[in-house]
Amino acid sequence: AFVAIVLGGNDLPSVERTLSSLLTQSYRNVRVVYVDNGSTDGTYEKVSELAGGKMELIRYPQRKPALEVLYPLIQKCAGHEIIALLEGKDWLSHENVFDHLNTIYANPNVWMTTSRAIHHPEYQVIEGKALSDDLLLSKKMRQKEKQVLTPLTTFYAAFFQAIKLEDFLYDGAFIDDCHELAIQLPLIEMGPDHLFFVDEVSYVKNDEHKKVDHKLHLQKVAAVESHLRSLTSYPTLSQLSLGLNGSSLHRYKSDVVLFSEDSPLHLYATLESLFSNVRDINDVYVLYKGSDHEFQRAYLNLQSEFHTVRFLNVCDYPGNDFHSLLTKVLDNKRHASPFVLFGTDRLVFEEKVRLHEAIQEMEKVHADHFLVTFEPNDEMAQTEAIPLSDGIYAYQLGQKGTEQSFTLSLCRKSLFDQLDGIDDLPAFKKLWQRKLQPQNVALFFEEKKTLPLNIPQETSSAQIKEWGHKFIEGFKIDLPSLTCEMEEVGKGELPLIKRERRRPSQLRD
């Protein structure tokens, strides 16, 4: 099936011709979606009148950047649907366009097509040509100025969905001008052998009422184009999954790695809340250090209550070899998850977190980071939160976003393949921060999921030892009281309660 998406906006003079060219196609298995993007000239009303229930009509009262409209629309399409993009001022050249395309896409090696276009009103200029195999296979398209495919351009939705969200953004917002280039360059690079040139005029470019670009606008366009051409080329895809076998029942899981030093009382609270409120956990590791025998004893007591957790004492490794220990934990064994939730014992999980849902959204947008404790604030003005699914958003980090300190985060393990020189936790935290690049997209929850258990800097070593004593005596942090006593917690006053040991039935579900 084809999905023809018309990106319209103040196109009243041509809208009737545009819609007629789509609704009179001889091939009928075409779903038409008309997007009225901020029209003020009556385009929306005219489309509503002409649609007659034969198409989906989407209206944005305020104009949005082109990719802000197209991205969520195509993301929602089934992978096997074939997308055809039209400008609202243009139209198809004849009634057999989709019939011809249907024949072409019968070949499974075709993932994308381009064709010739003719210019209205003179009908003298025809553009569009087949690209050479050398140009396609050498992946030199980004270096070739002005080399853009001619409409009508079509492609599988699954092909588009393989593009990283971050490559559709510039300075934190969706790209508007150059949106064709932003789509086409990755597709050509991922499938150089799968682009088919339709050697016919399929599309009419309407040059009437052509707008004159102002100098400032042209400068912005040049900056965006330069940015797109500077991006790293995509690797070639060996195959394209169209999702014809139905939705996958696979449930994503994540490993968990927690760091702890002289704080068994806090670690217990973190683990207790983790198993109560976090779902889709694979393996859980605790990398800990106890500075004296009493802390070591406290950690041993803790281990006996969380049998499914793997506790690894940094001090047990020759020379406190943090590098070897972390490498072992992140090593992708067959049953291990390719994702890992990193955190410390300075927080508790207050709300339910389903890691499957978080990873699912990371996979859809091809992101490497999900910042679980991130809270948007007024400083996010330079970037825009992008809604992905219920309660999950994405944003482009920008320079400011790369400066944040280590926080509870869900990451791809592949980011940490190289751990040379990572000899302690501070070094790892710096590495984690270096993995945040301004261009990257990170995901976050709309609602707060955790409560902080920060130990104030002025806390004395005597107080820290006292907490260790309390833990050995059977005291635990009273989780239900935390919400009401956050001010006291901020001062280092913890709500403690003496409790029995956890029974096996209370352990990991």
292-304 mean pLDDT: 93
Name the more confident of 420 and 261.
261
pLDDT at site 237: 97
- The rounded distance, in Å, linking the Cα atoms of 7 and 86 is 6
pLDDT beyond 80 at 473: yes
pLDDT at site 503: 56
- The rounded distance, in Å, linking the Cα atoms of 267 and 286 is 9
- The rounded distance, in Å, linking the Cα atoms of 127 and 119 is 8
The mean predicted confidence, pLDDT, of the chain is 91
Q: How confident is the model at residue 320 (pLDDT cuts 50, 70, 90)?
A: low
| Domains of the chain, start order | 2-230 (3.90.550.10), 254-498 (3.90.550.10)
Phi, psi of 310, rounded to the nearest 5 degrees:
-95, 110
397-403 mean pLDDT: 91
pLDDT at site 323: 86
Secondary element (H or E) of residue 266: helix 264-277
SS (H, E, C) 443-467: EEECCCCEEECCCCCCCCHHHHHHH
pLDDT beyond 50 at 508: no
- The rounded distance, in Å, linking the Cα atoms of 198 and 154 is 11
Exposed, middle or buried: residue 390 (CB in 10 Å: 0-12, 13-18, 19+)? exposed
* Contact yes or no for 38/134 (Cβ under 8 A): no
Q: Which residue has the tokens 């219920």?
A: 390
Q: How confident is the model at residue 90 (pLDDT cuts 50, 70, 90)?
A: very high
pLDDT at site 505: 44
Q: How confident is the model at residue 246 (pLDDT cuts 50, 70, 90)?
A: low
Q: How confident is the model at residue 250 (pLDDT cuts 50, 70, 90)?
A: confident
pLDDT beyond 60 at 287: yes
The angle that helices 461-472 and 264-277 make with each other, rounded to 10 degrees, is 60
pLDDT at site 315: 83
- The rounded distance, in Å, linking the Cα atoms of 106 and 292 is 71
User: What type of residue is 348?
Assistant: V
* Contact yes or no for 394/367 (Cβ under 8 A): yes
Q: How confident is the model at residue 481 (pLDDT cuts 50, 70, 90)?
A: confident
Q: What is the pLDDT of residues 14-71, one digit of tens each?
A: 999 999 999 999 999 999 999 999 999 999 999 999 998 899 999 999 999 999 999 9
Q: What SS3 state is found at 395?
A: strand
Q: How confident is the model at residue 506 (pLDDT cuts 50, 70, 90)?
A: very low
The answer to whether the Cα torsion of 318, 319, 321, 325 is positive or negative is positive
- The rounded distance, in Å, linking the Cα atoms of 35 and 425 is 51
Query: 176: which 2 tokens?
Result: 């508007």
- The rounded distance, in Å, linking the Cα atoms of 450 and 242 is 38
Q: How confident is the model at residue 500 (pLDDT cuts 50, 70, 90)?
A: confident
pLDDT at site 223: 94
Query: 239: which 2 tokens?
Result: 């195959």
Candidate from 48-52, 147-151, 488-492 with smallest mean pLDDT: 488-492
Contacts of 96 (CB under 8 A, 6+ apart): 25, 26, 27
Determine the straight-line distance between the first and last CA of the chain, rounded to whole angstroms. Answer: 44
Residue count (the chain):
509
Q: Which residues pair with 56 in a beta bridge?
A: 33
Strands 441-445 and 409-412: unpaired
- The rounded distance, in Å, linking the Cα atoms of 113 and 148 is 13
pLDDT at site 141: 86
Q: Residue 63 CB: number of other CB atoms within 10 A? A: 16
Cα distances (angstroms) measured from residue 171 to each of 122, 227, 366, 386: 39, 10, 18, 13
Strands 82-87 and 2-8: parallel
